[in-house]
Structure 1
Amino acid sequence: MFIHVLGSGAGGGFPQWNCNCNNCKGVREGTVNALPRTQSSIAVSANGEDWILFNASPDIKKQLDAFPAIQPARQVRDTAIKAILLTDAQIDHTTGLFTLREHNQPWDIYCTEAVHEDMTTGLPIFNILGHFRGVNWHEIKTDQQPFTMPAALGLEFTAVPLKSEAPPYSPHRHNTVPGDNIGIRIHDTRSGKNVFYAPGLGIVEEHVLNYMRDADCILMDGTVWTDDEMSREGISDKRATEMGHINQSEAGGSVSILNSLEKPRKILIHINNTNPILNEDSPERKILNEAGIELAYDGMDLEY
């Protein structure tokens, strides 16, 4: 399988347009050694020609322009995107669908029933797309049974229910249901390799840990370093746990969890602009480097 990281940042990207935290101010002024990042999304392919888009961020235009393989230009209107999979209904994972409204046929979109409800009520993007070419909805079940897509022969996908948080406009906010947020196990039946993708993750339950143990590569929620990171920067009183994200540094956080795993390659994705690990010269980044934990970056390519 081929995986291309279109975007690796959290909501707002990095630097965020209105943010003057240490990271954002520093990267603008050139005093912080860090790579800018757009909002998180990946593209997955079985053959390197036909691609499945995982989430559609508000930065999708810039991301597609930076990835020539996804615009093969075989005809006047063309794309190599064959289907779209949504892991949740968050703004930073769905509003890029507006940019994709000019497709020449209905989009095949895969998501859970819970996400479909949000996308037709609280954030009715699917309804709006119905005024253009429309949407063919393919329901993703949360029973952890593998499913396939016609455009990705050789790949099997398994939706893994995650403990996180539903969007603010969701009827499930603070009362989540299975399917509000999923991770995806992507298994290549030819190579036998599998990648576990979970850009939004609040708690690592035992069944999730089992998928991590078995993975050859993990692309995991890397939003914040500490649970109170936003308040430390004077941005918000909300803790990461309230927003459905696990922190990296504390006991039971993602660093300690990843350190307990021997098999997989470990990569953090969906990194918030406030996270000190974005600074490649920071002590926090040194901790990750010494642990063998990588940061996803825009344009990163993986092959398994």
Structure 2
Amino acid sequence: MRITVLGSAAGGGFPQWNCNCRNCAGVRSGTVRARPRTQSSIFVLPDEGADGVLFNASPDILEQIRSRPALQPARALRDSAIAGVVLMDGQVDHATGLFMLRERKGALPLWCTDPVEEDLTEGNPILRVLGHYCGVDRHRIPLDGSAFAIPGVADLEFRALPLSSKAAPYSPHREQPVDGDNIGMLMLDRASGRRVFYAPGLGQITPAVFDAMAGADCVLVDGTFWTDDEMPRMGLSAKTARDIGHLPQSGPGGMLEWLAKLPAGTRRMLIHINNTNPILDEDSAERAQLQHAGVEVCEDGMQIHL
């Protein structure tokens, strides 16, 4: 299995267009050693395949495709290596890039849960708008743990797990969460037996989620905030990380505490990193703490081969 990190930032990217926090101002001026990032998305291919699966379609998808030639194999006048798109939720930073794929020759193969389909039909009607262009061939993601496959991507098997997080602000069930608002994905390469667990939005680690993480060779999980009070402390929001559905890395019960419980051979990676998170500064004490714990920070263009 080959995974390309197309984007590793949270919504707004890094630096965020209107933000002058220490990280954003520093990366612009060169006073902070950090790398710009686009909004989070990954592309997954089987070892022997040319076509793969796009997980989340960020608003930066055109830039991400231009930067990664493997997504445009140029086998025909109109071509793409994207065999299908899987949405982990219905958030703006994970779904509005679908608009940029509207020139597709046929209907766009899309996998999402029923609640996400509702979000993108009623709350933010992206799927209805696409009906005026290429159209959407929507497939339901099961939430009972049963496996599903994506045509054109041989040897890869997918299983979804409902997550505790938050639906988009325009979701009909924003304040009344339902299973399927957010999911994690366990991916199996049947040829090698290797497994990856992917969860860019994760508010709580339940026993089922931890079992999936512990059974994976690599985990790519929510790296949005370092502390629970990161946004209120900076005066940017009244809501904590947990309020908006993200488990902070530090503190009791934080992501680092959970990652430390995984088997020694598990590759641990953080993705969907907010522009305010001090781990973006490669010289920060927080980044040094991650390195000591054996936890990696995803970067745009990173290649993971399992």
TM-score range, shorter chain: over 0.9
- Taking structure 2 as the reference length, what is the TM-score of the superposition? 0.98
* 1:153-196 Cα deviation digits (max 9, x unpaired): 11110001100001100011121101000000000111010000
Give the secondary structure class of the aligned counterpart of 1:150: coil
State how far apart, in whole Å, the 1-side matches of 2:49 and 2:225 are.
Answer: 32
* 1:273-301 Cα deviation digits (max 9, x unpaired): 00000000000001000000000100011
Corresponding residue for 1:276? 278
Give the secondary structure class of the aligned counterpart of 1:280: coil
Give the secondary structure class of the aligned counterpart of 2:102: helix
1:90 Cα deviation from its structure 2 partner: 0.2
Q: Structure 1 residues 168-177 or 217-226, which shifts more?
A: 168-177
Corresponding residue for 2:304? 302
Corresponding residue for 1:242? 243
Corresponding residue for 2:11? 11
> CA RMSD for the aligned pairs?
0.7
Corresponding residue for 2:257? 256
Q: How does 1:1-304 map to 2 (within 5 A)?
A: 1-46=1-46, 47-262=48-263, 263-304=265-306
State how far apart, in whole Å, the 2-side matches of 1:109 and 1:268 are.
Answer: 25
- Taking structure 1 as the reference length, what is the TM-score of the superposition? 0.99
Q: Structure 1 residues 47-56 or 219-228, which shifts more?
A: 47-56
Give the secondary structure class of the aligned counterpart of 2:123: coil
State how far apart, in whole Å, the 1-side matches of 2:34 and 2:74 are.
Answer: 33
* 1:77-112 Cα deviation digits (max 9, x unpaired): 111111000000000000001111111110010000
State how far apart, in whole Å, the 1-side matches of 2:109 and 2:190 are.
Answer: 23
Q: Verify the 8 A CA contact 1:14 1:38 in the aligned structure 2.
A: yes
Counterpart code for 1:241: R
- Detail structure 1 runs of 4+ shifted over 2 Å in the superposition: none
State how far apart, in whole Å, the 2-side matches of 1:207 and 1:125 are.
Answer: 31
State how far apart, in whole Å, the 2-side matches of 1:199 and 1:151 are.
Answer: 25
1:146 Cα deviation from its structure 2 partner: 1.1
Aligned pair count reads: 304
State how far apart, in whole Å, the 1-side matches of 2:229 and 2:49 are.
Answer: 41
Give the secondary structure class of the aligned counterpart of 1:61: helix
State how far apart, in whole Å, the 1-side matches of 2:190 and 2:77 are.
Answer: 35
How much identity, in percent, do the aligned residues show? 56
Gaps of 5+ in 2: none
1:257 Cα deviation from its structure 2 partner: 0.5
State how far apart, in whole Å, the 2-side matches of 1:232 and 1:27 are.
Answer: 21
1:48 Cα deviation from its structure 2 partner: 4.0
1:51 Cα deviation from its structure 2 partner: 1.4
Counterpart code for 1:195: V
